[in-house]
């Protein structure tokens, strides 16, 4: 596909960012472009889209793009900036959709495919997890999907390079909302109250000790406290403190250990400070685990100058739900360009990239199609 078309796709989509499952304009845009290519459309996960090119076999391989944006006010000052206040494609999903549309256009012209090729345009990657809904709706069984592939733009990697990881790539993640309930009293009579702030400070310190004292130093895990709010006035013993944060690990057993130790600390704080601790821990995405055979298949097909082996990263991605169903491979595509000042991180209100890189994503999908012996 012509780079000008890819550029237009990206800029059109960038201007209409939408959140979670409410992707009505994005849905219509993708649907119309796919219909121009001759695809029949199936709606999934409310505003997601499934398209396919029938092959000689009932079995299929799938390629996935996320669709949703982030609740961010864009500050790039580009002429194709978001038209929707407090919504922005700050994680590259506009580019992901563009690459999959470009690849779909290529596949639409192929004949005698060995297997069916399925295109999954998925909502709600940023939350609460559209991939899980796609699976629950039976899409994998309906199309007999045996493998799945995806690409994510990444400003931590030089423009045009493929970032490859064998095995664990992205973390399992969860979030927690915690309340420490104490008893208020006059600041001059602290013995008549139960100080929720003092208890909360001890709890936070002990949570951080989990990483340094309960996790093998050769393994990786994260507990981050993002917010801590409490107290009513400078002369009142705090009655309540609210804490929120995230936990992440590449290993499910380690993730379970994090939660177990947090629960134990919660109970200990209750006893030590005579307070009540309520902790709602919400499990979100499993770890992204790249299939070794697919990793080696792709790596061996590339020149050394085309890719970089990356270390696992503590980001989370609901592509992991697909990999719990079938073998899958998730690849990073570099967008960092110092000369053009495309260096801002994902989720930044300044995130941007040069559309020239998108053809590299389409090329990678074409390569995978050949490696999987579909053409």
d(CA 325, CA 191): 56
Q: How confident is the model at residue 2 (pLDDT cuts 50, 70, 90)?
A: confident
Q: How many CA atoms lie within 13 A of 185 on its CB side?
A: 13
Residue 223 has pLDDT above 80, yes or no: yes
C-alpha distances (whole Å) from 281 to each of 188, 243, 257 are 36, 12, 13
Residue 25 has pLDDT above 90, yes or no: yes
How far the first Cα of the chain sits from its last, in Å, is 18
Q: Per residue in 238-286, pLDDT tens?
A: 999 999 999 999 999 999 999 999 999 999 999 999 999 999 999 999 9
Beta-carbon contacts of 48 under 8 Å, excluding residues fewer than 6 positions away, are 23, 27, 67, 120, 121, 122, 123, 130, 133, 134
> 172-283 in CATH: which number?
3.30.70.360
Helix, strand, or coil here: 176?
strand
pLDDT computed for residue 108 by the predictor: 98
If you average pLDDT over residues 346-361, what whole number do you get?
98
Residue 1 has pLDDT above 90, yes or no: no
Per-chain mean pLDDT for the chain: 98
- Minimal CA–CA distance to 166: which of 19, 312, 340? 312
Q: Per residue in 170-195, pLDDT tens?
A: 999 999 999 999 999 999 999 999 99
Q: Which fold has domain 3-170+287-371?
A: Aminopeptidase (3.40.630)
- Minimal CA–CA distance to 302: which of 327, 323, 335, 333? 333
Sorted by where each begins, the domain ranges of the chain are 3-170+287-371, 172-283
pLDDT computed for residue 43 by the predictor: 99
d(CA 167, CA 309): 12
If you average pLDDT over residues 328-355, what whole number do you get?
98
Q: Which residues of 305-319 are buried (b: 16+ CB within 10 A; e: fewer)?
A: eebeebebbbbbbbb
Residue 126 has pLDDT above 80, yes or no: yes
Q: Decide: 93 and 72 in contact? Cβ < 8 Å.
A: no
Q: Per residue in 72-87, pLDDT tens?
A: 999 999 999 999 999 9
Q: How many other C-beta atoms lie within 10 A of the C-beta of residue 141?
A: 10
Residue 51 has pLDDT above 90, yes or no: yes
H helix count then E strand count, the chain? 10, 16
Q: Per residue in 60-119, pLDDT tens?
A: 999 999 999 999 999 999 999 999 999 999 999 999 999 999 999 999 999 999 999 999
194 phi/psi in degrees, rounded to 5: -125, 110
The residues carrying an active-site annotation are 66, 126
Largest CA distance in the chain: 83
Tell me the residue length of the chain: 375
d(CA 352, CA 360): 17
pLDDT computed for residue 195 by the predictor: 98
Q: How confident is the model at residue 8 (pLDDT cuts 50, 70, 90)?
A: very high
pLDDT computed for residue 273 by the predictor: 98
pLDDT computed for residue 211 by the predictor: 97
């Amino acid at each position: 596909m012509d780079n000008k078309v890819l550029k237009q796709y990206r800029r059109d989509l960038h201007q209409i960012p939408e959140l979670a499952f409410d992707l009505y304009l994005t849905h219509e845009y993708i649907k119309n472009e796919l219909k121009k290519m001759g695809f029949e459309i199936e709606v999934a996960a409310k505003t997601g889209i499934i398209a396919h090119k029938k092959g000689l076999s009932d079995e299929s391989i799938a390629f996935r793009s996320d669709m949703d944006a982030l609740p961010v006010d864009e500050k790039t000052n580009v002429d194709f900036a978001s038209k929707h206040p407090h919504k922005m494609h700050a994680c590259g999903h506009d580019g992901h959709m563009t690459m999959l549309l470009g690849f779909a256009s290529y596949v639409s012209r192929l004949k005698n495919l060995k297997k069916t090729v399925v295109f999954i345009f998925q909502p709600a990657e940023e939350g609460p997890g559209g991939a899980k809904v796609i699976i629950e709706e039976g899409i994998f069984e309906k199309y007999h999907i045996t493998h799945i592939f995806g690409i994510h733009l990444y400003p931590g990697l030089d423009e045009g390079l493929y970032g490859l990881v064998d095995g664990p790539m992205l973390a399992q993640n969860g979030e927690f909302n915690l309340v420490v309930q104490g008893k208020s009293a006059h600041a001059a009579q602290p013995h008549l109250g139960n100080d929720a702030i003092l208890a909360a400070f001890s709890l936070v310190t002990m949570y951080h000790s989990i990483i340094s004292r309960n996790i093998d130093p050769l393994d990786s895990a994260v507990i981050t406290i993002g917010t801590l709010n409490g107290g009513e006035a400078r002369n009142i013993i705090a009655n309540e403190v609210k804490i929120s944060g995230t936990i992440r690990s590449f290993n499910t057993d380690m993730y379970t250990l994090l939660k177990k130790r947090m629960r134990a600390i919660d109970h200990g704080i209750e006893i030590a400070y005579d307070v009540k601790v309520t902790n709602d821990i919400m499990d979100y995405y499993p770890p992204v685990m790249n299939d070794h055979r697919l990793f080696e298949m792709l790596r061996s097909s590339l020149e050394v100058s085309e890719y970089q082996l990356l270390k696992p990263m503590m980001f989370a991605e609901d592509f992991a739900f697909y990999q719990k169903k079938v073998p899958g491979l998730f690849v990073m595509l570099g967008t960092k360009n110092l000369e053009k000042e495309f260096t801002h991180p994902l989720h930044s209100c300044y995130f941007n990239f040069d559309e020239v890189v998108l053809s590299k994503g389409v090329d990678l999908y074409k390569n995978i199609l050949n490696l999987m012996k579909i053409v």
